[in-house]
Chains A and B, each alone.
Chain A
Amino acid sequence: MEEIIFGIGITALAGALAAVAGAAEDTESDIGSQGDPNSQVQLAPQMGYVHRIFNKAIAGEPPAYGLWVALGAGLAWAFMAMQINPILAIVLGSALAVFVQGVYATTAYLGRTASLSKFEQPVYIDILKSMTTVTMAHAFVAIFATVTVCHLMNGALGHPFPLPLLGLVWGIALGAAGSATGNPFYGKERQYQNQAFGAGVPIAASGNIVRYAEAGQRNSIDNGFFSAKLGGPASGICFGLIVFFELWRTVVFEPVAAGWGAIIVGVVVILIFAIIDRYIEVWARKTFGPYTTPEEASS
């Protein structure tokens, strides 16, 4: 019984850490335009809209975070093998992984932006100096929290995978959850704030991203400030729920019915999410209503 209570506590802690990781990951990727909206940041100068938005997208979020979290976890694992305190080892491992992220962000921004020189898009050195450090800070939070989650899974809950392998698995899952949830909010709601609310961006408007702020030109810290209000927390909830339910069903229900308990609970949780999703879908259709009458749409 004590073991299960201990497991539930660890599960709750891991879920909370994962929520922090998801929020930091999405804000980091939005500041760096690393998700799918990078296509618009790259397209804008080609359509004549020169901007001051940071763009470090040379890999998708899942493989990039797979690399950084696996690196942080691997280094932390090595430090722990050298008898260094786990918390210090995780901090050191994450800090070293963040330096790799910083190098990646710098070279990616320079490379991507320099390729737009024929469209008269300048490489802004002040953008490079101010944005890179902000993405590094957010990346540190995301990597540290995820490596800690992995350490809890391995050390406290007894998952057989070694720490670096867990880092790779959960780094990729973190990137997948963050990019799936956070990208539309940054891409549609922020980059195309000049378009009508409550509708998708017409394909004809592609590239016409918002480039001006309340005062002066908009930069990626403004974008991070915006997406940290909803896209980031929503990504955090998404990744937090994934980690929590994945651990909770195993820790609490695996002893039931020789292991089938965890599977039955997993199916029940999936069905509950199906009901929630369907409710949201129907609610949106009723509340927002159709854009056109069915006759017009079909004609």
Chain B
Amino acid sequence: MTALGAPKQAGGFQPPTAMGIVLSVVLIIVALALSFLLVQTAGLVALIGIIIGGVLIGFGVHFVPVGGAPAAMGQSPGIATGVAMLAAGAGLAGLFAGAWAAPLGLAIAAASGAIGGGLLMAITCTMVNVIYVFGMGIPAASGKVAKDPITGDTFPEYKSQGTEGHGLPFISWVGGVIGGALGGLGGTLIYLELLGIYQAQLPVILGATVEQIAPVAVSLAGIFAIGMFLVNAVLAAYNITGTIEGPHDPKFKRFPRAIIAAAAASAVAGVIALGLFQLLGVF
């Protein structure tokens, strides 16, 4: 405790509270039970897939190096935009790729989603360094660590005066690609689970063939996948509070809290998406 009585500000690890864990576990169990009641075993399996997808997104966002406003002035390292926005950009590009590969099966679609997200981040992170180096004449330097854990480059002497570092060191680049890949994988997983459920339910409800309902099923699954992606990305952004450099940043250790929150949020959002038609039927 400080002299003012305020709780100590922990920059790095902030463990989840017991209350948070209990509440999340209860929410997840209730959601799993509801999914079983509404859509039987298929619903239960799909909701587990959705929860895994949501957790992957929440975890992946912590890898993405985001510098926010200070990065736009070369005052801190990272990409000069918001956490949730950049993660959403990468994850949705992954979802685009995964949805395209959906007819080829779960494994290829999920891998394609991961590569789609990773590819967007690889190109974006490289272009960030291109603009820093060739547009502004500034080398990359981390503000959180003295040495790059991958390349061994030292940073303190490459930090310009009055700043906390700038650009994207290689460890941040790698973190960005991993984050984009996890986001794309998670988003695709949610999409595929929902698509499977809608493709089974809609022909019965609408009395039509699988081909006829395909546009409705794809649109609904896509919209819910994007929505759940944004929920998990924003939750993780709240956990990060502001900026993060990547996996080497002390804030990265906060991820267990985001994983629990993402699992609970995905379970609640997922059960509504899965039981959409049953819930609509009630009204």
A76 is an interface residue with CB less than 8 A from chain B: no
CB pair B173–A277 under 8 Å, yes or no, is yes
Instruction: Name the residue of chain A whose CB is nearest to the CB of B92.
Output: A169
Given contacts A237-B127, A278-B151, contact A165 B223 (CB under 8 A): yes
Residues of B within 8 A of A (CB): 68-75, 79-82, 85-86, 88-90, 92-93, 95-97, 99-102, 104-105, 108, 111-112, 115-116, 118-120, 122-140, 146, 151, 153-154, 156-170, 173-174, 177, 214-215, 218-219, 222-223, 226
Given contacts A159-B100, A237-B127, contact A284 B115 (CB under 8 A): no
**Count of A interface residues, CB-CB < 8 Å:** 88
Question: Complex: how many Å from CA A63 to CA B154?
Answer: 37
Question: Complex: how many Å from CA A230 to CA B133?
Answer: 12
Contact residues in B for A179 (Cβ distance below 8 Å): 80-81, 85
A86 is an interface residue with CB less than 8 A from chain B: no
Known contacts A246-B96, A284-B140; 10 further A-B pairs (Cβ under 8 A): A37-B73, A62-B89, A166-B96, A177-B124, A188-B74, A200-B73, A274-B174, A277-B168, A280-B130, A297-B156
A5 is an interface residue with CB less than 8 A from chain B: no
Contact residues in A for B75 (Cβ distance below 8 Å): 200-203, 206
CB pair B219–A162 under 8 Å, yes or no, is yes
Question: Complex: how many Å from CA A292 to CA B151?
Answer: 20
CB pair A296–B215 under 8 Å, yes or no, is no
A269 is an interface residue with CB less than 8 A from chain B: yes
Instruction: Name the residue of chain B whose CB is nearest to the CB of A201.
Output: B73
CB pair A168–B226 under 8 Å, yes or no, is yes
Contact residues in A for B88 (Cβ distance below 8 Å): 62, 172, 176
CB pair B81–A36 under 8 Å, yes or no, is yes
CB pair A281–B169 under 8 Å, yes or no, is yes
- Which of B90, B101, B135, B168 makes the CB contact (< 8 A) with A250? B101
Give the total number of A-B pairs whose CB atoms are below 8 A apart. Answer: 297
Interface of A is mostly: helix
Could you mark each residue 279-292 of chain A with 1 if its beta carbon is under 8 Å from any beta carbon of chain B, else 0? 01101110010111
- Within A204-252, the residues touching B (CB, 8 Å) are 204-206, 230-231, 234-235, 237-238, 241-242, 245-246, 249-250
- Which of A159, A241, A280 makes the CB contact (< 8 A) with B129? A280
Could you mark each residue 71-101 of chain A with 1 if its beta carbon is under 8 Å from any beta carbon of chain B, else 0? 0000000000000000000000000000000
Stretch at the interface among A45-53, A104-112, A117-125, A255-263: A255-263
A270 is an interface residue with CB less than 8 A from chain B: yes
